[in-house]
Structure 1
Amino acid sequence: MMLSEVAPVAQSALPVAAFRDHLRLGSGFADDGVQDALAESYLRAAIAAIEARTGKALIEREFVLELERWRWPDVQALPVAPAVSVRSVTMLDREGVASLVDPSAYRLVRDVQRSRIVAVGSLLPVVPDGGRVEIVFSAGFGPGWADVPADLAQAVFLLAAAYHENRHETGTVRGLPAGVLALIERWRTVRVLGGGAA
């Protein structure tokens, strides 16, 4: 399995000004551009860490999932939630020749914890021997920062602030702060039975 983002979170969707206010950084100074660039980098790092820990895309964007086989013959869980739409499902044979799967062969089951592609009928289309399936889908709570649930948004700000405060430390890497862990706990996906379809 390989998951990749089609494009990163757009700069316009990042709450740089709100984060500056959270840190109580002044404005109107000659180095505001530098401060904004640092704030953006801390926000991006915090968003990535929260998304990795929860399996949720905070800001809506497109992802590509490549699989050599389906997890189950009739259902495939997506590794990022909440999925909004599936743009395409493409089969590629061992030579890389692509064939688009008819959208009537599957449907998206939207779920805030574990979105899934489910067969319409009994089985999903067979992945070619030695080939792979490529799923292009959109996931996220919405296109803007205002769409992010308040607890996850606060967790991002707390973690980004911790990155800002500890920016000069070169010691050992520590885990997420306890306050951040408490805020994201309800959003974490619990996997049972080896990460099956649920």
Structure 2
Amino acid sequence: MMLIEETAPAAEALPVAALRDHLRLGTGFGIADDPAETAALTGFLRAAIATIEARTGKVLLTRRFRMQLDDWRDRLGQPLPLAPVLMVEAIEIDDGMGQVTQLPADSWRLIPDNQRPMVVPTGVILPHVPRRGFVTLRFIAGFGEGWQQVPPDLGQAVLMLAARYYEDRSDADARAVLPFGVSALIEKWRAVRTLAGRGSREVR
């Protein structure tokens, strides 16, 4: 499976002000309004979001993804590796020889789920993928475009982790360990993840 993030969260959607408050950087201090410091806080937030999303499989801020598989995991239904999925925009099958066929939108449907969203056929099974070919799914996932739409516990976990990254920015080893408080906040959001395609299996 190859999963590509085609868009990134807008800078204005990131909770920079909330992180400043969390770090107790008041607006009366020059460091809070310094452009370089703002850029650094933005970077730590992006890193924290990426870590939380990787640990939970949940997309915090809405954006577009492209997933490429060498085959369906199951022709009765294809699980998607991220949640929540808002929309599947298109599904295409490439025969490996340059011939690309877009599946009709009425031949499949999305089953939304906060743990394991799936694409299922409206008929009996999903169409055959040639042995040398692959299938591409384009979809939009995320809790929302604004930070206020992110579940509070996941949002708090991001702030705590970004603060740790800020405080330990000169210590790469310390940054590699997920703080216990962050782990506790995200635990209920973790779910069995499904690897997609031929020879797939379930992992945690």
Q: TM-score range by the shorter chain?
A: over 0.9
C-alpha change, 1:173 and 1:59, in structure 2 (3 Å) is: closer
Residue 83 (structure 1) aligned with residue 90 (structure 2): no
C-alpha change, 1:173 and 1:21, in structure 2 (3 Å) is: closer
Partner of 2:34: 32
Uncovered stretches (5+) of structure 2, i.e. residues with no partner: 195-199
Q: What are the Cα deviations for residues 79-114 of structure 1, in whole angstroms up to 9, with x where unaligned?
A: 110111000001112123221100111100000011
Name the count of aligned residue pairs.
Answer: 196
Q: RMSD of the alignment, in Å?
A: 1.9
Q: CA deviation at 1:175?
A: 2.2
TM-score by length of 1: 0.93
Alignment check: 8 A CA contact 1:60 1:141 kept: yes
Uncovered stretches (5+) of structure 1, i.e. residues with no partner: none
Partner of 1:105: 107
Q: CA deviation at 1:143?
A: 1.1
Matches within 5 A, 1:120-131: 120-131=122-133
Q: Distance in 2 between matches of 1:170 and 1:156?
A: 18
Q: Give the match's secondary structure for 1:79.
A: coil
Q: Which amino acid in 2 is paired with 1:120?
A: T
Matches within 5 A, 1:1-198: 1-27=1-27, 29=30, 32-171=34-173, 174-191=176-193, 194-195=201-202
Alignment check: 8 A CA contact 1:90 1:134 kept: yes
Alignment check: 8 A CA contact 1:80 1:139 kept: yes
Q: CA deviation at 1:156?
A: 0.2
Moved more, 169-178 or 91-100: 169-178
Q: CA deviation at 1:190?
A: 2.5
Q: Give the match's secondary structure for 2:68.
A: strand
Q: Give the match's secondary structure for 2:26.
A: coil
Q: Distance in 1 between matches of 2:19 and 2:98?
A: 45
Alignment check: 8 A CA contact 2:81 2:193 kept: no
C-alpha change, 1:171 and 1:187, in structure 2 (3 Å) is: closer
Q: Distance in 1 between matches of 2:79 and 2:109?
A: 12
Q: Distance in 2 between matches of 1:172 and 1:109?
A: 40
TM-score by length of 2: 0.90
C-alpha change, 1:171 and 1:59, in structure 2 (3 Å) is: closer
Q: Distance in 1 between matches of 2:64 and 2:193?
A: 24
